[in-house]
């Protein structure tokens, strides 16, 4: 398996960091400010653990991997951003949708 170009990887992390920052800033309580660096670390952790789960968990869990991964993502977001469960779930769903759209437009869409 070949790696995508460095610019694509950097763009992916920029999009993920931006999505997490916007979603967390909108959904965090008034007194809590979430930094961009914390969002970048969270995006890196989610990417690393997501790829590891797909490699090691997918053969045994099959299609349940997506649901397990969602639960792990929510726990990571809860721990790193110190948000409540429902806010973390919403941030995670926004992250899922944004990264899914990124993969669609950058990797799956055919050039016309």
**What pLDDT does residue 4 have?**
73
If you ran DSSP here, which 8-state letter would residue 28 be given? S
Q: Residue 109 above 80 pLDDT?
A: no
Q: How far apart are CA 31 and CA 29, in angstroms?
A: 6
Q: Are 61 and 68 in contact (CB under 8 A)?
A: yes
> pTM here?
0.84
Per-residue pLDDT tens digits for 3-17? 777 888 888 889 999
């Amino acid at each position: 398996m070949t790696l995508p170009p460095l610019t694509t990887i950097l763009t992916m992390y920029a999009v993920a960091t931006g999505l997490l920052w916007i979603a967390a800033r909108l959904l965090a309580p008034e007194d809590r400010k979430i930094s961009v660096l914390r969002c970048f670390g969270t995006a890196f952790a989610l990417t690393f653990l997501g790829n590891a789960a797909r490699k090691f968990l997918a053969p045994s869990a099959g299609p349940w991997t997506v649901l397990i991964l969602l639960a792990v993502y929510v726990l990571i977001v809860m721990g790193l951003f110190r948000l409540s469960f429902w806010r973390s779930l919403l941030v995670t769903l926004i992250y899922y949708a944004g990264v899914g759209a990124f993969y669609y437009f950058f990797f799956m869409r055919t050039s016309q």
